[in-house]
Structure 1
Amino acid sequence: MIRILVVFLVFTVHAEAATIAGYVRSAIDGEQVGLSVVALPDLQLGGLANERGYFAVRKVPDGRHLIVVSHIGYQSYRDTIDVAGEDVRLDIRLRSEAIDVGLETVITADRDTEVEQERTIQTSFLTIEPQLLQQLPATGEADLLRSLQLLPGIQSASDISSGLYVRGGGPDQTLILLDDIPLYNPSHAFGFFSTFNPEAVRDIQLYKGAYPANYGGNLGAVLDVSNRDGNREQFAVSGGVSLVSTRLLAEGPAGDGSWMVSGRRTYLDPVLAAIRSGGTDVPDYFFYDLNTKITQPIGEGGDHLLLSAYFGRDDLDFDLGEAESFFNIRWGNRAAMARWTHLFDPALFGELTISSSEYESTTDLSFFDTPILFQNQIEDLTLNADLEYFRGSQNTITTGLRATKYNFEFVSSFNQKPGVDLHESPTLLELYLQDDVQLSTGTHLRLGVRASRFSEADDVAVMPRFSLSQPVADGWRVKLGGGLYRQQLQLVTTEGFSGGDFWVPLDETVGPASSRQIVAGLEWEPTRNYKVTMEAYYTDLDGLVIIDNNSTVDNNSTRSEDVFKSDGRGHATGIEWFAEKRTGRLRGWVGYTLGSTRRTFDEVDGGRSFAPKYDRRHDVSVVSSYRLGSKWRLGGSFVYATGQAFTPAAARYTLTNPATQVREDLVLAARRNSARLLPYHRLDLSARRQIGFFDGDAEVYLQIFNVYSRRNEWFVQYDADSPDTEPEVVKQLPVVPTFGLEFAF
């Protein structure tokens, strides 16, 4: 089918007038500048470069024409070009603007300017410049996922969790991609840090809901992260040193292409070893990650080959001090990708991608010579074929095919006796078609459909998607978006931290989960300096599952129905406000979310609905950055949120164990998540100063997490053996000051 479509599109393209096409790149390092706007203003023709920086403007008549290329943070490119009946190849280099970039280019949510056309088309979409990672206060060092938690509609589970809870969905409902490769547990240090090395990241795109048809496989949101391709112009080195880790990036030209290698590793293990030598029981722990990338043009026709890889691992060993008592946990991701980009015609852009992603975790513990083991592994091998047809300045058609082969393994044992033994190797086939069209001046419509066939299901899911954007007055715009979504994989998590999380597929005994989303938005942009956005969303969920803690399984025939309680239902609804100031010495934003999410399972709490742990009615965030002179930058953030839900104890009671005749004290749980912890609030501050560093540039920084040391509540635990003991409320992090150095040559 794809081959027939290619032949048809190529024939159609050759029947048209001349096409101007090429790549937009940075003049400094040759990095692609995606989503740039290319315009021929005299002809009222133009278009938007795709995410790879490729553009094509069709139906250009003969003559000399002015061409203008623009992108936020770069000087506009202006030149004249002669067209004489033949297609023209034009590769463009944009120079950075000589301005203080700051927060005005950090969060750019749906801005109605030509350089934000993609944001104009798509609802619930925003991009984040990597500079944000250095602007915001953090614990230890800058972190992508923890920075995203400061945006409206996105919550965290705890101070040590980098998991994303987007609009009432769990972390497994957000698809996380690194260079188009899915990552199944993108965290280090039990979620304290994400796997994304800020030195290596080039751009970040986030769809909080109603995401388009070219993505699939998850119920809620999409986080699409791309690493740097490497510097095509010169060899360069950058890095940073914090109290937690050291990171380093090296990049440079390779022939007509480029290469990039970045790494990060903790140096806590020698410190912890020194503490243990003094007689203090502390665990042995380290993590590392490595990113590599090579890009190379092929021939003169615009083809490119890209190779990308990621490796990351965490390792924790803890001797509990008792006889044969220890706790060991290891987890990590390995991912690799090869992508061939081919131009069938100047207006027909194609990509063929093969990728592999693997996540594994092993939890090995023993208490008084009683070993317990949990092992989980997920592997996927994916083939993607995508086409993008620049039909005209007001119409772009994309289509693609995706085939994925999974291999899942989850085994457990207690005292060397086998427990769960789950092995599955399902396949997933997906096909999508999407059309972006400008109906009139300023009115954009995106229509798409995605079809999927999971080998463990008995049907083909057809999922339509749409997004409509319409200006209603000067500076005002309304948006509407929605779609159907399906998810076949399930994450079992503690919610408070990650590391021992594990993934399993849903087989024929439990149907896949599905969601229906609708989003409506209103935007007001009185000037380029200010922007106010309001979005209301509603998500309806079916086919949800939760782990069945009381299940007894036969290790010879473990199925999904043995592990999960299924057929759950739910919904999430809310309103988000987002106001931002983009320029001036003082910059930042204020976000507020009024939301609610509920879940219902016939086998849980008598079929009564309950709030998930991460449900929060109110969530406020205030973020600011102030430029003090030419060398200092001060930053701060404040968050306030409704306390998380938890299940309180209704009573204590005593039973006699019929097997041992021993009386046991037990706790009778009340309704699930029927109580709330105290409200969460926290203030973080930072100060950064530019300094000279040998022949390069550097910044030193001081960051203070939780300035007034608010001991926010994490969870409640009960001691059934001591009836007179009050429930213990486990607290989160106190004040945590950190400092570090960042440099570039």
Structure 2
Amino acid sequence: MRFRIYVLLISILSLYANHLFAQEVHSKEIVLLRDFLTEIETKHNVKFSYNDLLLKNKYVDTNINGVDLKKILDEISNQTNLNFEIIQDRYIIISEKTEKNSSNHICGFIYDSLTKEPIEEANITIYGNNKGISSNQNGFFKLQNLKDNDIIEITFVGYVTEFLNVKDILNKVCINVYLKHENTVLDEVLISDYLSGGIDKKSDGSVVISPQKLGSISGLVEPDVLQTIQLLPGINSPNETASDLFIRGGTPEQNLILFDGIKMYNSSHFFGMISAFNPYIINKVKIFKSGTSSEYGNHTSGVIDIETSKEIPTRIQGGFGANMTHFDAFLNVPLGKKIGITVSGRRSFTDFYKSTTFNRLSKKVFQNSVISKNQETETDSFEDTNDFYFFDVNSKITYNLSSKDVLTFNYLLVRNKLTYIFKTKDSDTYFTKDFLEIKNAGWRLKWDHKWSDNVVQNTSFYSSEYDFSYTYNGEFNFGQSFTQDALKSNLIKDFGFKTTIENKINDKTTFFTGYELVNNDVSYKIHRGAANSTTNIFYTIEDANNNNTHALFFNYGYNNRNKTIFNLGVRTNYFTLADKVYLAPRVYFQQQLFPKFSVKTSFEYKQQSIGQIIENHTSDFGLENQVWLLIDNKELPILRNNQYTLGFLYKSNGTIFDIDFYRKNSYGVTSFTRGTDGSVRSFFEGTGKVNGVDVLLKKSYTNYDTWINYSYSKSTYTFEEANNGQPFPGNFDITNSFLWAHNLKFGNFSFSLAWLLKTGTPYSPPRRIENNGTIVFGELNSRRLPAYHKIDVSSSYEFNFDKKKRWKGKVGISLLNIYDRTNILSRRYTNVSNGNSYSVQEMDNLSLGFTPNVVFRVFLK
């Protein structure tokens, strides 16, 4: 521990000393040319392009008369014997002065061969003598004083080196050079196109999804990020939703989901069926199943870190489109050369038009609820109104303060509203109204500062607010007036501060450290009441708590060109409500044993001070019966978890074989969570265990990818007071899951198909029912539902509206469950009274049947 403290202090003192030294140099009139050029770039809004060797050990006298840029450059040229050539107004190329004929020249633009985006800071040199320059922000370069037999070498980290013969392109119009990716030399990417284009595996063990690069995904008409994540082995949604993600047996509330640093407590629309994130403004989605970076805290399962782009566009970009549930639009606008803004919005049209797709989704969502029951029993005497809609809004402002500073501000709002009324048509005999609203809003202010080429500091302030509100009112007039009411509210207010420093010591070693403070203010209230002319019965349950989490974290990373990868992280968490400090170490290690074969292992230990419990007080409506609350380590224990993994990786010539064996142990588990609710009827504290294997086998051809995912997972819980103290399967335990997927890309046409087969979830069989209506169950979760299987298909076609290819279009179609298989997702039992006695009624929650969807989109590039 002392050694870590000494290292941290030395790093901080070094940064401070460098800062003081920089101040001392700049206080003089004679300064390093490189530093003076940086000041000119900021003051005059220009960008210099040069070879580092040209500026090595060069100093200039800054006592220059006048403020005109050209005069300043002329004076520097006289002092340093360098040429300054202004290209495209604000880009300036620096080269050596020479008396030779400068008419022999070449110029060009360098682009990424896949994205067609310009590559900045690519090295363009004359082969053999290291003379050259770097490309500017637009990928532009120009070389002069060339000989006919010179060879130009173009290099950039992560790309295949390109060689050009000068005699073939000398004195011609500027050429375009497209650099190809070279996966074997990338620092971060371990495997490109891990499943398909736009899905990569990183050297830290995470998987990154880039929605803008995705092709067709089976069953998806648009690149829904949370649905796409379910293609990865070890990630399941037993409820067939986008948001209820069970990552290696962990329950959804144990996942950490971030959107531009804003914590999401509700990540879906339409009660889980659609993710709450607009994919067209998302740059990348980073997913950790194990070996999580120490930067992430207060969760015990997976991490889903979603980021939008912070690049300022050079021109207006955007798009709009619609499918069978909602429409959306987004816009990227440059407000000058240093400021850019992104805005986007999505809204359902379900409150004024109910499509076939929406009706299929509604049938699944509202089954076994008051809404479906009323519709089943509705006669000519009753009528109902079901108004539901959702929308989300995102905005982001990016401001490049200088070449070393970037300021960004994000705002997010996600909202779902449902109003349901059921009443008699021609009288006030019977009237009920249910109103449910779910809102998640947040903002973040972030400052990125580059202390040097190797040291970067990121500092942010952020806030997240989750607001759940449900009210019920009923009025009944059968002889005498009778009223009922119910209420449930759940409010979370988060405010946080986070700062990190990343120091790239060399091309193999990185040191990362930071501090985070988060304030959680959580409250809930549950109320029920009933009244008539003589009786008034009601009760209220409510609670409010506040917790501060202080976290200090460190991470050491070593990567020897992906041959040896080692990440060691330590996080300390202090929860003020529990008044306890926890240590959370994380390790990820990978070693290449043979050129195409590697072994990997990881360990992590985590804690969580906020969670969900299931409440049954307002469950009559049949939707959303979870409540978020803070864990005080008294009535509810802090949730703890550790995970061990061991795996192997083989990759060669379009073939990938990736396998992980893992074990997870959970402590502080209670019987009022989604994993055990309904199985155990009393409140107990226990433990959880998951043993599993995740397997991926993929083969790629030129235009065709196919892969198989297989996951084995055995998730069990143990409570001493329940099931005779014996372990029993969790409610959402899926022992076997098998996915076979196919992606075909042919020109502008994309096609995707996947077949999913998995074990049914467990349930507890009823043994008998008592005279008072109590159901006595047999061994907990000792039986299983039939196997689940379906085939999903998607297809899309992209086209151009104009010759310049700025306006692009896309049409697509998806077909879920094309053979209309009726899958049972879960089963529970309730009692039914006939007036004299009770009987047991079986209630099954069914999957989506055959569900089509179509999309039409327009993009402005």
In the alignment, which of 407, 412, 420 is matched to residue 310 of structure 1?
412
- Give, in angstroms, the shift of residue 210 of structure 1: 2.2
Deviations 1:605-635 (A, max 9, x none): 443322111111100112211124x232221
Q: 2:267–2:276: 8 Å Cα contact kept in structure 1?
A: yes
Match for 2:638 among 504, 507, 512? 512
User: Contact conserved, 1:362 with 1:500, CA < 8 A, in 2?
Assistant: no
Give 1:245's match in structure 2, choosing from 309, 313, 326.
326
Q: Deviations over 1:356-393 (max 9, x none)?
A: 01111011123553111110011110000100111111
Q: Does 1:673 align with 2:787?
A: no
Change (3 A) 1:386 1:701: same
Q: CA deviation at 1:25?
A: 11
Matched AA of 1:6: I
Contact 1:436 1:446 in 2 (8 A): yes
Taking the aligned partners of 1:486 and 1:37, their CA distance within structure 2 comes to 44
1:68 and 1:440 map into 2 onto residues whose CA distance is: 17
TM-score, structure 1 as length reference = 0.81
Deviations 1:331-372 (A, max 9, x none): 011010000111223321101100001111011123553111
Deviation at 1:138, TM superposition (A): 3.3
Q: Is the 8 A contact 2:230 2:237 kept in 1?
A: yes
The 1:521–1:513 alpha-carbon spacing in structure 2 relative to 1, beyond 3 Å, is same
Gaps of 5+ in 2: 23-31, 35-50, 54-109, 129-151, 165-175, 360-374, 425-429, 476-482, 531-537, 675-680
Q: 1:568 to 1:266 in 2, by over 3 A?
A: same
Residues 398-431 of structure 1, C-alpha deviations (whole Å, 9 max, x = no match): 0000001111010111117342211011100000
1:362-401 alignment to 2 at 5 Å?
A: 362-367=469-474, 369-401=483-515
Look up the SS of the partner of 1:434 in the other structure: strand
The one-letter amino acid of 2:699's match is K
Determine what percentage of the aligned residue pairs are the same residue. Answer: 21
Match for 2:643: what amino acid? Q
Distance change in 2, residues 1:150/1:714 (3 Å): same
* Aligned: 1:293 with 2:414: no
| Structure 1 residue matching 2:820: 3-state secondary structure | coil
Displacement of 1:257: 3.0
Length, aligned pairs only: 670
* RMSD between superposed Cα atoms in Å: 4.1
| Residue pairs, 1:479-490, within 5 angstroms | 479-490=600-611
CA contact (8 A) 1:13 1:347 kept: no
Q: Distance in 2 between matches of 1:154 and 1:491?
A: 20
- 2:756 maps to 639
1:82 matched to which residue of 2? none
Distance in 1 between residues matched to 2:615 and 2:115, nearest whole Å: 43
Provide structure 1 residue ranges, at least 5 long, that are not aligned to the other structure: 44-64, 80-93, 100-104, 550-562, 656-664
Partner of 2:454: 347
Q: Retained in 1: the 8 A contact 2:189–2:203?
A: no
Q: CA separation of 1:626/1:282 partners in 2, compared to 1, >3 Å: closer, same or farther?
A: farther
1:83 corresponds in structure 2 to: none
SS of structure 2 residue aligned to 1:190: coil
Assess, with a 3 A threshold, how the Cα gap between structure 1 residues 480 and 565 changes in structure 2: closer, same or farther: same
Q: Counterparts in 2 of 1:690-729, with a 5 A limit?
A: 690-693=798-801, 696-721=807-832, 727-729=842-844
Instruction: Give the C-alpha shift of residue 566 in structure 1.
Output: 5.3
CA contact (8 A) 2:831 2:841 kept: no
Bigger mean CA offset, 616-625 vs 493-502: 493-502
Q: Once the 2 structures are TM-superposed, how far is the Cα of residue 37 of structure 1 from its aligned partner?
A: 12
The residue number in structure 2 matching 1:188 is 269
**1:445 corresponds to 2:562:** no
Q: Show CA shifts across 1:663-708 (max 9, x none).
A: xx33222233222111111101122122444771111111111000
2:628 corresponds to 1:503: yes
* Corresponding residue for residue 69 of structure 1: 156
State the Cα deviation string for residues 429-470 of structure 1 (Å, max 9, x = none).
Answer: 000011112469821211111001000223211122111110
- Structure 1 distance, partners of 2:234, 2:560, is 30
1:114-513 mapped onto 2 (5 Å cutoff): 119=201, 121-123=203-205, 125-131=206-212, 135-138=216-219, 141-229=222-310, 231-255=312-336, 256-271=338-353, 281-300=384-403, 302-321=404-423, 323-367=430-474, 369-415=483-529, 417-438=538-559, 442-492=563-613, 499-509=624-634, 510-513=636-639
Report how far residue 161 of structure 1 moved: 4.8
* 2:809 partner SS: strand
Provide the C-alpha distance between the structure 1 equivalents of 2:579 and 2:122, rounded to a whole number of angstroms.
44
> Are 1:230 and 1:252, in contact at CA under 8 Å, matched by a contact in 2?
no
In structure 1, the residue corresponding to 2:771 is in which secondary structure? strand
Deviation at 1:498, TM superposition (A): 7.4
Larger Rg: 2
Residue 735, structure 1, aligned to residue 850, structure 2: yes
Separation of aligned partners in 2, 1:376 and 1:221:
24
Deviates most, 199-208 or 430-439: 430-439
For residue 595 of structure 1, give the secondary structure of its aligned residue in structure 2.
strand
Q: CA deviation at 1:589?
A: 2.0
Alpha carbons 2:763, 2:828 under 8 Å: kept = no
The structure whose RCO (Cα within 8 Å, separation 6+) is larger is 1
Distance change >3 Å, CA 350–CA 161, structure 1 → 2: closer
Q: Which moved more, 1:304-313 or 1:249-258?
A: 249-258
Look up the SS of the partner of 1:727 in the other structure: strand
CA distance 1:403–1:548, change in 2 (3 Å) = closer
